Every structure is written in structure tokens, then in C-alpha cells.
Amino acid sequence: MTGTTLPGTDALRERALAALGAAGVTPQYGEGLTARTPITGEVLFDLHATTASEADEAIAAAAGAFRTWRTTPAPARGDLVRRLGELLRAHRSELADLVTIEAGKIRSEALGEIQEMIDICDFAVGLSRQLYGRTIASERPGHRLAESWHPLGVAGVISAFNFPAAVWSWNTALALVCGDTVVWKPSEATPLISSACSGLLDRAAQDVGAPREVHRLLLAGREVGEQLVGDSRVALISATGSTRMGREVGPRVAARFGRSLLELGGNNASIVTPSADLELALSGIVFAAAGTAGQRCTTLRRLIVHRDIADEVVERLVVAYRKLPIGDPFAEGTLVGPLITAEAAERMRDALNRAEAEGGKVLVGGGRRLAEDAPSAAYAEPAIVRMPEQTAVVRAETFAPILYVLTYRDFDEAIALNNAVPQGLSSSVFTGDQQEAERFLAADGSDCGISNVNIGTSGAEIGGAFGGEKETGGGRESGSDAWRSYMRRATNTVNYSSRLTLAQNVSFL
């Protein structure tokens, strides 16, 4: 463990209250929901959980506000998001405190998450003047054929603990400028940062004269999440979580003919070729595999190395892993903070046991580091496991810092290994060979939604659409044309002639 002691729970509680106060938020104390910190594994506050009737009221309020918000000019809707971005900038440090306290992220990653929120607000403000349709050539004289885009309705956002603020902002900033209203059900593990974000958006709405009901927050458990998913007043459900969760959400939304945007599991791989710059590759691999204590959806979980360089790459990785500072995420120099719960540490141990049973060898890490002053916390040593082949445990996602190392003989085999898992979120290749790089990005290369060259699998920018294929769900959030998920398309035909001309030369009457 880095440092001598962890901060005490009382000190963390005071820091959380100070951050909430700066955002203008007072915790809603009560029953039904517990705010904990993975730094010590202990309870910070007992909070009031949103009831079913309160959730129904929130959805109704958002649906009512939509009728006004959809006709507000898009640039005026952008003013709300611009103000939110200003408030995020003003409270970046306090919000990062809450991310670290509730999710266990090291300081630089927590600050990076808030910066990501600021960036998407900037993107969305520009987008508010660029919700472009198109003009299409009509086959009929005196006719104009066009497409236009209109607000969709209430967007329900269900987010996970690992990016407790950024994923909300991806959805909310875009949904608001698109003319939708938002109902947010965050992870039960992160009610404090969720309350702060919601409070700042409420303040932004007041500052610009927008209806407060354009955004509502539901702090509750699974039951209220299911209520949101099943409510026909919610036009879109954007859900981030496990593939198991997506299997439940997708069919329920489809059954009521709603839309779903799913960001689910990832089992991401990097290929390292003989021509790779190994210094560059090692830096990218260690961050992607051990950053956020292995709890990103884009975390590197499989390393596919050419057999001629595998021993050297593994040896150097083991040396780097043994030096990783683990401990208090607030402490300067710490690179690996805690797992979110003790149960996550147990799942990591179970996966390592299965890997060994399937022929793997743990080369480094895998132990749980117990802090004398926080026995309930789960600090785990990132692990590297050499595997003989891509076995069942390798094909399954374990949300913990485990890196499985596989070898390949030729590049086609490497791509096949990359693609031979159910998930399809992120991937990368480290190579100095342009043909290999282009082959990896080609239609018969990586089958993932994110494919990188000479960087790791994590750390996406907001300008590009984020999401994956196969069991990752197929959804796209954040940049590029992801805004279209939050709008409905209308095809328009305008006849400005004095004759009624039918398409396809049909004659009638």
C-alpha cells in the first residue's frame, strides 16, 4: 500500500459534504439507499431512496416538460448545456473529490472524468446549431424531398459506477440540445456524485430560465430501474452495464416498441507485433490494463503477442506491475485504487482460480492487499496470467485488473483471437508495419466498435462515437453522429407544382 494510512471515513464524509455543499446540494438522509466509499469500505450516509410513486411523478414531470422543451429553439437549448459546462468548470475539483470518494478513482482519472463532462458540453453546444437534415433529389418535377430531425421524447439514462458522471453527461448534454428531457437512474454505488451533477443542472436551468423538469434524478435500486425501463412514456432507454443487464433491458424496451441504446460488456484485446515500439506498447498496455483498477468497460483484458517477442514483453510487464503503487487514490503517486466492493475482489480471485484450472499461470499479482486501518476495503494487486489458449475464463469479462496473455504465429491468427469473444467494444494493435495497421482497421480486421493503432484500448475522446458490437450492445454515445439516437427522423415531400405527380410513374384517375 502506498502511504502510511488511508484517510478515515469521518474525514471522507466531511470532504464529501464539502463537495456537495459547493454544488449547492444537501444529502437527502433517510432509508433505502447507502452511500459507501471503497477507499475504506465503510458507510458514509444512509439516504432516502426514490419510491415507485416518486419515480412515476418524475417521469410524468419530464414528459410534461418535453411538450415545451421540444419547441424551444435548439440554440436556446444549447444555452442550458453551455451554463452546465460553466458550472462543471467552476466545481471541477469538488466533483472529482466525489468521484474518488465513491468510485475509488485516482485523482488524475477523477479530474479527467470531469473534464470529459466539460468537453461533451462544449461539443453539444456546437451541435445545437448543427442538427442537420438533408435535401434529396426527387424524381418528380416540382417536388422537393427532404429529411428533418425532431426531438424524440423522454430519455431514460441508466449509468454504472465506473464512470458515474461522464456517461450521464454524454447522454444528457446531447439529449437536452436535441430537445429531449431526461430521467436519470444512476448506480446505487454513486448517489453523491449523481446528486451533485443533478444539482448543478438544476442550477443551470434556473440561471437560463429553462424548466427544472427537463431533468429528474432517481436515487434508487433495481426496482425503480425496472420501472423506468418499462414505462411507455420513456421513449429511449440508454443503459450502461453488464451484458446480463442488457439482455433484460433490451427485450423489455422492444416489447413496448421503445428505443434502447445499450453500452454493455467489453473483453478488450491488444495485439503486439514484432515491429512494435515496445516502450510505447508497454506504456499503453499498463495503463489500459491496470488503470481504474481494471474497472473500465474498455479495460485491456487480453494481450495477444507474437510468439517471437512474447517472453520479452511479458518479462517487462511483470517488472512494471511489481512497481505499481497501490493504495489511497487521493495520495500523490498512487496509480491503482480500490476495487468497488469486496465482492469484486472475490470475483477476481475466482477468475484467477479458474484460469489456473484451465492451464494458466499467474505470473504476478492477484493478491488482496488488506489495509490495517480499513479491513473492509478491497485493494487488489493487478495480475498477469499466461494462458495456453483462449479458454472459457478468458472469453468471459471479469471486472477486475486481470490481463491474460496469449501468443500468435501470424497476423490472421491474431485478428481471429481478437474477434473470438462474444463482446466487441474496444481493441488495438501495436505495430510499425503500415500493412498490419490497415489490415487491423479493415472490414475483415477487428470487429469492435473501437479499433486503435499504437495506443491502448481505453481513453476515448468525446469527438468520436463510443460503443461496440455483438454482446456490447451496438449503441453509440458521445460524439460524431450519436445525436441521432436521441431524435426521430421525418421524410418530407413538398409539392410546389400545380400537378399531382405520383412516384414510380404510377397513374391513378
C-alpha to C-alpha distance for 162 and 142, rounded to whole angstroms: 55
At 301, the amino acid letter reads: R
Strand, helix or coil for residue 185? strand
Catalytic one of 263, 397, 436, 471? 263
Q: Are 414 and 271 in contact (CB under 8 A)?
A: yes
Helices (H), 216-267: 222-230, 243-255
Q: Are 415 and 446 in contact (CB under 8 A)?
A: yes
C-alpha to C-alpha distance for 448 and 388, rounded to whole angstroms: 24
C-alpha to C-alpha distance for 272 and 274, rounded to whole angstroms: 7
C-alpha to C-alpha distance for 159 and 178, rounded to whole angstroms: 20
436 carries an active-site annotation:
no
The position carrying cell 500500500 is: 1
Give the C-alpha distances (Å, rounded to integers) separating 118 from 113, 183, 212: 9, 20, 21
Give the number of other CB atoms < 10 A from CB of residue 387. 19
C-alpha to C-alpha distance for 22 and 93, rounded to whole angstroms: 10
C-alpha to C-alpha distance for 249 and 268, rounded to whole angstroms: 23
The residue count for the chain: 509
C-alpha to C-alpha distance for 338 and 38, rounded to whole angstroms: 6
Catalytically active residues are 263
